[in-house]
Amino acid sequence: MNISVIGSGYVGLVIGACLAKLGNTITLVDTDKDRVAAINNNVAYLYEVELDEILKQVHIEARTDYRGVTDSDIILICVDTPSDETGSISLKSIIEAAEQLAEEMEGKENYYVVVVKSTVTPGTTEEVVIPILEKSGGKIGVDFGVCMSPEFLSEGKAVQDFMHPARVIFGEYDKKSGDTLSNLYHNFNAPILRTNLRTAEMIKLASNAFLSTKISFINEIGNLCKQLGIDTYEVAKGMGFDERIGSKFLNAGIGFGGSCLPKDLKALITSSEQIGYKPRILQEVLDFNDKQALRLIELLKRHIALKGANIGLLGLSFKPGTNDMRDSSAIKIAQALFQEGAIVKAYDPLAAENFKRLFPQIEYTSKEDILNCDAILIITEWEEFNNLDYKGKIVIDGRRILKAKEARIYEGICW
């Protein structure tokens, strides 16, 4: 099929590359000139397993303007929808994308389907995106179709997640829109749920809210287990055999971060409040998570005075396998350490460059050098941290790196 992808970030670039690999003709559109130039040079400007290889195998045209996108059968909108200062989702990029698309749609006669893949709150596709697209003069259901199909890939294994999804959700304006989109997925071996637009939007937010809740839940159990001298990972293992619970997302630690879980949870909370419903469980999950990472500092203070101390951070990204540090717990931890007057050094195999933009005052060094600090905080569970020699060190571990237990003083956040 002929597919245009608007927005070539983590989601758009991975989807575009994967769909090109599956034999589709792909045009990527992004307002960021550097990203467009990198893609046209077949270079992945972001780190994602397998992505670089795929980009070298396929031909993708990337551009900064929207010319020709409506010649496609399907147009996927994958622009960013970050939190604004109130916690709501900022619709700035999606509104701009829809407006630019509407201009290009004027006078077009071929039928195509516009698919919102960006995460948005229920009602956004119907109340914001469709009215803008209709400004083109085209009639929805006749000249063009609309779907909302949330994306569930997770960074670090985005290619595999997109190629082998656990499920595919089509929120469809009408049957013709959904039928067109289903042509794109006919080779995928995944259950497909066809539903309406706002249900699809809610499925995405509810899924991320559930995962966030599961993490905060096990962290609460973990905090309790630590006080009781019980191994929280053994507890999680015992719980996980129950299919109703499942074993995933039960690793107690410093909490969730990243570009999706915190912002999607905040978006669900604020959109609920806007209609007069106070989501108490969700609010507590968020508040609890905000404090969890800082427990690492509290534990550290039991062993060392922070003023003037050299504190080394092992890991900066919000999880291994990515250089994305959006909403990473490392940000809160670094801020707290500076407030306490500590001198901070850091190592991350991929995310150091991105972190440097936020914290230029940190000394970015090798992992071996981090071991020379007065104390070490483990923030991301990079596999390579299992190969370090922690003997004689003070280590406070947020991620359960077993080798670190050899340290002279070792404390886990929940164990």
Catalytic residues: 260
Nearest partner of 254 among 279, 289, 206, judged by Cα: 289
Give CA–CA dist 136/104, Å, rounded: 8
Residue 259 CB, nearest approach to ligand NAD (Å): 5
Closer of 14 and 413 to ligand NAD (Cβ): 14
Output the six-digit token pair for 51. 């992505």
Which residue has its beta carbon closest to ligand NAD? 9
Q: Are 347 and 380 in contact (CB under 8 A)?
A: no
Distance CA 148, CA 76 (A): 9
Question: Shortest approach of ligand NAD to residue 269 CB, angstroms?
Answer: 16
The distance of closest approach from Cβ of residue 232 to ligand NAD in the complex, given in angstroms and rounded to an integer, is 27
Task: Select 100 or 223, whichever has its Cβ closest to ligand NAD.
Answer: 100
Please give the full DSSP string across 204-226, using - where no structure is assigned. HHHHHHHHHHHHHHHHHHHHHHH
Our CB check for ligand NAD shows the closer of 31 and 283 to be: 31
Q: Strand pairing partners for 257?
A: none
- Could you give phi then psi for residue 346, rounded to 5 degrees? -145, 155
Least distance (Å) between residue 101 CB and ligand NAD? 9
- Residue-wise over 185-209: b if at least 16 C-beta within 10 A, else e? eeeeeeebebeebbebbbbbbebbb
- Number of helices (H) and strands (E), helices first, in the chain? 16, 14
Spatial contact of 208 and 264, defined as CB atoms under 8 Å apart = yes
Cβ closest to ligand NAD, residue 216 vs residue 259: 259
By three-state DSSP, how is residue 363 classified? Answer: strand
User: Could you tell me the smallest distance in angstroms from the CB atom of residue 98 to ligand NAD?
Assistant: 8
The residue written with tokens 């019980």 in the block is 230
Q: Which residues contact ligand NAD (rule: CB under 6 A)?
A: 6-12, 29-32, 35, 78-81, 93, 96-97, 100, 118-119, 151, 153-155, 259-260
